[in-house]
Amino acid sequence: MPTKTNPDAHAWRAWLQAQSQKNPDPMLREYYRRSIFDPDSTIADTPLVALDLETSGLDPRRDLILSIGLVPFDLNQIHFAARQQWLLRPPRNYANESVAYHHITHTEASKAPRFESIVADLLDAIAGRLVVVHYHPIERGFLERAILGISDAQLRFPLIDTMALEARRHRRGWRKRIRALMGQTPVSIRLHDSRARYGLPNYEGHRAVLDALAGAELFQAQIQHHYTRSTPISDLWL
């Protein structure tokens, strides 16, 4: 199974093909069947979807998904009218202190649907599109955990992490060494700071669909400045 440390990005295709036939969950088999990407496809020819989760914390083992937002897009256009967002009712209470971060009250969450009631719509929305996120341990870790909570099957898919792309430029190689020699702090690769480097406007943070939009715009800018439209998706995905 591919992991974020797997040097062979082409292994994803074999994984997706195998899951489309062998995954024990029919809903997930259909998702995989629709999402078998050719690793040599160019990023310009690949449908994309920006995805963001708002959670009660950073640990998928103990924290909870509270909302999910997604925005379909490609390198030419962001399809904001096709955006989707779900507020979720978690299976247990979450800490009051986290409300200051995600702004989702217990009252709002108590009236929302459970994850299992929206998962089919979520999978349908992302099927056939390469997922783009900012800091993939959140989206990958929490979705894997949520699926395991309602099924014995596994959801795992390739994705592009805009934070990881910023890290390639600012946290590695000669740029990192020069900053260290000069005693400078590392360049911030948080979503807001990364967008600012490309002259992108600031949005209200920690709203799932707006953070997804922000990630889509950031990725378009990254491709425009540092890659080409013919870049293979296997050069970008994790």
Which of 8-22, 128-142, 213-227 is the least confident region? 8-22
Where do the DSSP E strands lie in 81-152?
A: 84-87, 130-133
Average pLDDT over residues 139-168: 96
Q: Looking at the predicted structure, is the pLDDT value of residue 6 above 50?
A: no
pLDDT at 181: 52
CA distances from 143 to 16, 102, 148, 202, 238 (A): 17, 18, 9, 27, 16
pTM beyond 0.85: yes
Domains and CATH numbers, the chain: 11-235 (3.30.420.10)
Residue 174 CA to residue 156 CA, distance in Å, equals 33
- Quickly state the pLDDT bin for 7 (edges 50, 70, 90): very low
